[in-house]
Amino acid sequence: MALQNFEFCNPTRIVFGKQTIQQLDKLIPEASKILIVIGGGSVRKNGTLDEVEQALGKRSFAVFEGIEPNPTFETAMLAVEKIRKENFDFVLGVGGGSVMDACKFIAGAVKYQGDTWDIVLSGGEKITQVIPFGFVPTLPATGSEMNSGGVISRKSTFDKLPIHSSLLFPLFSIWDPTKTYSLPKRQVANGIVDAFIHTVEQYITYSVNACVQDRFAEGLLLTLIEEGPKTLENPEDYEARANFIWAATMALNGLISTGVPSDWATHMIGHELTILYGIDHGQTLAIILPSLLNEMRNDKRSKLLQYGRRVWGIEHQDEEKIIDEAIAKTRAFFESLGIKTHLRDYGVDDSAVDKVVEQLQRHNLTALGERKNITPEVSRRIVEASL
Ligand SMILES: NC(=O)c1ccc[n+]([C@@H]2O[C@H](COP(=O)([O-])OP(=O)(O)OC[C@H]3O[C@@H](n4cnc5c(N)ncnc54)[C@H](O)[C@@H]3O)[C@@H](O)[C@H]2O)c1
């Protein structure tokens, strides 16, 4: 099999390094009226917001605070209403993936005529116009800083759904690794797992002989395995943190998915666990991925063998042993970062199985995976094996 046809375009400008936030001034169009969007206040405490405000100098801006982890439609709509009422024309997200995703929805919803929840139900297809937006990310994990996707939740209806649109690439993202030093260990570990699994979902599928993408993916996985523990242990080791951040961004900016199949089933099942039980995004992925790889081991056979050999250096005569060991090492890596990999570790019992399967059916997520053969019955087995 050969590389599939593809088109690749990533228009986001990345500015990376220490003391780069001051460049905001030249990145945002001069006459803009800016709404800065933040989360629960971590960027106030660690000085990032101060630096952003200083960089904006005499420009016209206001701050919208309160985007929650796993950002909700309800809160994002408050920002949309503020923008409509006060005529802001630039959105600047300062925070983690939740803030960035909320900003994408906000930017696409401001000019939307009609019920804005339809934007989410359409998976982002209904977005036809956005107001410009850029980011100062403070948490490496999601890749939202350089991709065109987002995930929005609605608490009242137990929905957590992805949106995508070519209009949702940020204009720029300014990555100053020092602004992530204040992250709690749990968030750093979540971020390492999220980036690792993004890579796996675009790599462990079936082979299309994509030499470049495979080597990129393996490079990212090896970087996360090597630098992840260092950056968790020593948050202010700039070299390790910078490598981790760039790996997380590159893991989901479209580059390694060019021309290859992908399998987002771990994410889709994980979203249901977050909306049902409030488990962190990264944790849900660490719970589901090992069971999914095991369940789909025949379909993913050649890539699992490649992953075992090239990423974990496993050699055996017996191919089944290579696959078993590769999955065991993946689980052990997550656990070594402090991320538990079973539902029972989070106080969730076997009643979760029916609930997750019902949610997947309600969201029409009934043909997942690179071959679209992860049916609700297969998802059921995966969740059962994750208990
Ligand atoms: N857009 C995408 O492509 C994509 C991909 C994967 C996941 N997601 C979504 O992103 C969300 C998760 O984002 P996330 O993992 O970046 O976490 P997050 O943005 O939810 O942040 C987690 C916590 O870390 C805090 N925080 C952020 N930066 C900090 C800092 N520098 N210091 C101290 N605390 C800080 C936040 O206030 C928050 O309490 C989920 O909703 C997930 O589904 C999006």
Q: Which two tokens stand for residue 66?
A: 């309160």
pLDDT-based confidence at 23, cuts 50/70/90?
very high
Q: Look up the CATH number of the domain holding residue 48.
A: 3.40.50.1970
CA distance 275 to 139: 21
What is the predicted pLDDT for the residue at 205? 98
Same domain, residue pair 380 and 233: yes
The pLDDT-based confidence of 223 (bands split at 50, 70, 90) is very high
Which among 165, 281, 288 is the best mutation to test ligand 1's pocket, defined by most ligand atoms within 8 Å of the CB?
Answer: 281
Ligand 1 mean position, distance from CA 280 (Å): 9
Q: Which domain holds residue 280?
A: 184-385
The arithmetic mean of pLDDT across residues 260-274, rounded, is 98
Atom of ligand 1 nearest to the CA of 46: 32
Strands 33-38 and 60-65: parallel
Query: What percent of the chain has a predicted confidence (pLDDT) above 90?
Result: 99
Residue 349 Cα to ligand 1 midpoint, Å, equals 26
Which strand (E) or helix (H) includes residue 295?
Answer: helix 281-295
In a domain, 4, yes or no: no
The closest residue, in CA terms, to atom 7 on ligand 1 is 142
Mutate to test the pocket of ligand 1, among 101, 185, 192 (most ligand atoms within 8 A of CB): 101
Residue 50: the pLDDT is 98
What does the mean pLDDT of the chain come to? 98
Pocket test for ligand 1, best of 42, 164, 201, 289 (most atoms within 8 A of CB): 42
Claim to verify: residue 349 and residue 234 sit in the same structural domain: yes
242, 139: one domain:
no
> What pLDDT sits at residue 143?
98
Q: Which atom of ligand 1 is nearest to the CA of 147?
A: 3
Helices (H), 4-68: 24-27, 42-45, 48-56
* 264 and 140, same domain (yes or no): no
Q: Where residue 293 falls among pLDDT bands split at 50, 70, 90?
A: very high
Q: How many domains does the chain have?
A: 2
How high is the pLDDT of residue 212?
Answer: 98
Domain match, 247 and 325 both = yes
The whole-number pLDDT of residue 193 equals: 98
170 domain-assigned: yes
User: Cα–Cα distance between 370 and 229 in angstroms, integer?
Assistant: 30
> Ligand 1 atom closest to Cα of 181?
31
pLDDT grade, residue 133 (50/70/90)? very high
3-state class (DSSP) for residue 182: coil
pLDDT band at 319 (very low <50, low <70, confident <90, very high): very high
Last residue of a domain, one of 179, 210, 226: 179
Atom of ligand 1 nearest to the CA of 270: 43
If one counts every other C-beta atom within 10 angstroms of the C-beta of residue 315, the result is 10
Average pLDDT, integer, range 192-212: 98
More confident residue, 155 or 339: 339
* Residue of the CA atom closest to atom 41 of ligand 1: 70
| Strands laid side by side in the 60-65 sheet | 13-16, 172-175, 133-137, 90-95, 33-38, 60-65
Can you give the CATH number for the domain in which 303 is found?
1.20.1090.10
Residues 175 and 221 in one domain: no
- pLDDT for 342: 98
Q: Where are the beta strands (DSSP E) in the chain?
A: 13-16, 33-38, 60-65, 90-95, 133-137, 149-154, 159-164, 172-175
Report the nearest atom of ligand 1 relative to the CA of 104. 1
- Residue 362 — very low, low, confident or very high, per pLDDT cuts 50/70/90? very high
94 and 210 housed in the same domain: no
pLDDT tens-digit readout, 53-102: 999 999 999 999 999 999 999 999 999 999 999 999 999 999 999 999 99
Q: What pLDDT is stored for residue 370 in this prediction? A: 98
pTM value is 0.98
Check residue 326 and give its pLDDT.
98
In 3D, which of 51, 48, 39, 135 has the Cα closest to residue 93? 135
Q: What is the CA radius of gyration of the chain?
A: 20
Q: Whose CA is nearest to atom 13 of ligand 1?
A: 97
C-alpha 328 chain-centroid distance: 24
Q: Which two tokens stand for residue 201?
A: 């979902």
Residue 147 — very low, low, confident or very high, per pLDDT cuts 50/70/90? very high
Task: Give yes or no for a contact between 93 and 175, defined as CB atoms under 8 angstroms apart.
Answer: no
Task: Give pLDDT, residue 329.
Answer: 98
Within a domain: 375: yes
- The ligand 1 site (C-beta within 6 Å) comprises 39-40, 42, 46, 69-70, 95-99, 101, 138-139, 141-144, 147, 149-151, 179-180, 182-183, 187, 190-191, 194, 252, 281
Q: What is the DSSP letter of 338?
A: T
Q: Ligand 1, closest atom to CA 71? A: 41
- pLDDT for the residue 380: 98
DSSP code at position 72: B
The closest residue, in CA terms, to atom 38 on ligand 1 is 69
Q: Structure tokens of 273?
A: 């666990």
7 in any annotated domain = no
Answer whether residue 2 is part of any domain. Answer: no
Mean per-residue pLDDT, 285-308: 98
Compute the distance between CA of residue 213 and CA of residue 8 in angstroms, rounded to an integer.
13
Whole-number Å distance, alpha carbon 194 to ligand 1 midpoint, is 10
Confidence category of residue 304, pLDDT binned at 50, 70, 90: very high
CA atoms within 13 A on the CB side of 160: 22
Nearest residue (by CA) to ligand 1, atom 40, is: 70
Residues 221 and 291 both lie in one domain: yes
Closest approach atom of ligand 1 to CA 153 = 41
| Domain end among 147, 179, 211 | 179
Give the integer Cα–Cα distance in Å for 315 and 263. Answer: 26
